[in-house]
Structure 1
């Protein structure tokens, strides 16, 4: 693709329509079909048409939605969309909602508020005075936490490695007893990071126990809930998140289960003042805040920003509560059906308890190519990608290379479940037959 686009800087401009036609012709050759009903490689969502159309309006309107004064429409719609999100996710209705690019920046934003708040309790203003000389902030996090949390901790100066890693069970759930043991001597500022929806297994931490332990130590509890927090939108799955509403902050993505286009995420913080203290940006030339006005750039780390909340508003308006609930139910049902089919086959192991939309699978123990170290699982993944009918990815889970299947695109329907399972089982049969034919 780089070769396809490589050309000298144009000395003169070209016709606008010709530029766009050329861009489409060349660009489409390197696109991955991420909004396809059988794309299961990562937890991405489907960029539903309503959200895409709303996003076109955002670009066409050309608003800098940093202040109410600069874009009353952008600020007002974000205010309403934020209220709807809190209602859908059944989180504290007075929490602040910042519209960010995704889970990584959502974690960064909420943890910035957490860092400032726990240090302020110790008499230190990190927002004004920085971290040099500040009391050290202790961070307690599960061993199977998502990499975006570690990235956010690094950006915030708290360190990717300088954390207390809490033991987890076979599903990746934090073990509350180990958290309690590690926090016994925690007397300074501290933050506990819990997880709603482990990226491989879909598992949920025991939030009630975690919050109780953290509160006793005066710690802030943040929840990385990129896709798993949407379980709260369905009455049959919300029990998985019991106690999560008692945390202090949450991060969740819109471009996952809500199907908004990229980029879309939310940083939700119970203490609005703490969030504004960490994010606020001001200057004499910027619009003043009127009584009751929402100032979006006081809630996120951006001054120049698009009206990111508008596609969220459009998707919720389009789906309604029942539509979001139906999406969650459909995808979880599809995942369970795929897992049932795979688990019943010889040589196939489903390695997680499929409580949501995530499946991890291992295939046999064959060495497919002598000396290259590739497992049968990787061979099945490669075979499926080569055929191009579905897209799955691989990753390590507790030391074992696995196939990851994430069911979360709005275009994926119940009928796809058996088709997907059959394609995977056919690829496995071909891999196994080839290995047996080579004497392995």
Structure 2
């Protein structure tokens, strides 16, 4: 066996999958027991030829691959993966670079620096901000809130990195009642806990209520978590008004923009995130609307020194650390795969116009979903401002039956959510591969499943 033989065989499997995924059943229920049996068994004593291992892996995985990379997966806010980004990811795995710093992986760090600059331009983030290439929105929110914790406590005369939170001044934390659950998890991980979180009311479409925020804000510095892209409705908070309010009191604004921050890349949609540049930290995903492979997220901070102080470390054996904050100094990981190559490739493939077109097309297709389902007599429960559509089929029980039927049908895949006390089908349009035809096929399948629901 040679590397060439193994990689050619790998490419054949990958090409076959990508050729198949557009026509494949999207996500029929898997047989978990069969999958465990296929992957299980006794570990052999002697090694196995890598090509045979590869073929065994492909065979074992059959029946358990969900076509999230295809054009009709609408269950979560996830994209597929662009051709250049997929190819770059294959190379990144082959190169196997540890993107800890510029001495260990100079090309990987240079790719992150270039891609980070482009991302800030696209997303309207100040060019002086730092950026860490993290695993996704959870890590990006955690990093952003760690920076917030550092800065607000420093203003109150407390060194949290040295002294911890025991005996520290209390830091008020406020967030929308419709925040993403990763905010709560980040607060737990950072020692704030969730009991002290002040929930601020949201409006009828899920954006934070500015009057309620005004009433809830304390006189001193606080950490306020805003949202660009409500996970159910796509609604964006009034970032300009909220940032002004918080900064008047010396506080820190973190924006969870996992997918909604990409609205800034579109001239048509940019007004939804007006004032984005005023925030102090931002979280965004690449494996959502940029359509790069998992796992890819970005943590931005307006104060690079604060960013690094909150999450970096040094050690005597680590050559090249402590001189200039970069790469892993802005993330929670030490050893990191070089995920910046895929982001760089995706941005090069699309260009700024291509990114805008991708975002705008997904939003147009979401409106197409809403219009066709509404015309068929179904209720669309939200204002469709980005790529999210919530659908009711009359009552919670019937809605659940239709969702179960569509997941079993295989034409497309949508999930369920609870919003304003109701069970709803949630449609998220995020894939670069999705077309008008895919929407129309999916609508036909939904209506067929609705007709069959009893």
Deviations 1:277-331 (A, max 9, x none): 011111111122597x663111101111111211100100111011111101111
Answer whether contact 1:67 1:287 (CA < 8 A) is retained: no
Q: How far 1:142 sits from its partner (Å)?
A: 0.2
Consecutive aligned runs of 4 or more in structure 1 exceeding 4 Å deviation = none
> In the aligned structure 2, how far is the partner of 1:416 from the partner of 1:307?
33
Picking from 96, 112, 119, the partner of 1:85 is 119
Answer whether contact 1:100 1:265 (CA < 8 A) is retained: yes
> In the aligned structure 1, how far is the partner of 2:435 from the partner of 2:195?
41
* Secondary structure of 1:415 counterpart: helix
Match of residue 42 from structure 2? 8
> In the aligned structure 2, how far is the partner of 1:220 from the partner of 1:161?
20
Q: How far 1:8 sits from its partner (Å)?
A: 1.8
Match of residue 216 from structure 1? 248
Picking from 289, 297, 320, the partner of 1:257 is 289
Deviations 1:230-251 (A, max 9, x none): 0011100001111122100100
Answer whether contact 2:124 2:276 (CA < 8 A) is retained: no
Does residue 298 of structure 1 match 2:329?
Answer: yes
Q: How far 1:9 sits from its partner (Å)?
A: 2.5
1:342-361 alignment, distance < 5 Å: 342-346=373-377, 348-361=378-391
Match of residue 333 from structure 1? 364
When residues 398 and 237 of structure 1 are mapped into structure 2, their CA distance, relative to the original with a 3 A threshold, is: same
Answer whether contact 2:72 2:439 (CA < 8 A) is retained: no
Deviations 1:75-115 (A, max 9, x none): 11111110000011121011000000000000001110110
1:20-169 alignment, distance < 5 Å: 20-169=54-203
Q: How far 1:162 sits from its partner (Å)?
A: 2.2
* Secondary structure of 2:383 counterpart: coil
Match of residue 238 from structure 2? 206
Q: How far 1:14 sits from its partner (Å)?
A: 0.9
Q: Say how many residue pairs are matched.
A: 420
Answer whether contact 2:314 2:321 (CA < 8 A) is retained: no
Computed over aligned residues only, the root mean square deviation of the Cα atoms, in angstroms, reads: 1.3
* Secondary structure of 2:175 counterpart: strand
Deviations 1:352-394 (A, max 9, x none): 11011000010113xxxxxxxx611111111111211110000
1:169-248 alignment, distance < 5 Å: 169-183=203-217, 185-187=218-220, 189-248=221-280
* Secondary structure of 1:359 counterpart: strand
* Secondary structure of 1:297 counterpart: helix
Answer whether contact 1:51 1:260 (CA < 8 A) is retained: yes
TM-score, scaled relative to structure 1 = 0.93
> In the aligned structure 2, how far is the partner of 1:193 from the partner of 1:84?
25
Picking from 418, 433, 444, the partner of 1:411 is 433
> In the aligned structure 2, how far is the partner of 1:205 from the partner of 1:356?
13
1:420-439 alignment, distance < 5 Å: 420-431=442-453, 435=454
Answer whether contact 2:72 2:434 (CA < 8 A) is retained: yes
Q: How far 1:53 sits from its partner (Å)?
A: 1.2
1:334-413 alignment, distance < 5 Å: 334-346=365-377, 348-365=378-395, 375-413=397-435
* Secondary structure of 2:173 counterpart: strand
* Secondary structure of 1:210 counterpart: helix
* Secondary structure of 1:360 counterpart: strand
Picking from 283, 286, 299, the partner of 2:318 is 286
* Secondary structure of 1:2 counterpart: helix
Picking from 264, 281, 305, the partner of 1:273 is 305
> In the aligned structure 2, how far is the partner of 1:68 from the partner of 1:321?
27
> In the aligned structure 2, how far is the partner of 1:311 from the partner of 1:12?
36
* Secondary structure of 2:436 counterpart: coil
* Secondary structure of 1:375 counterpart: helix
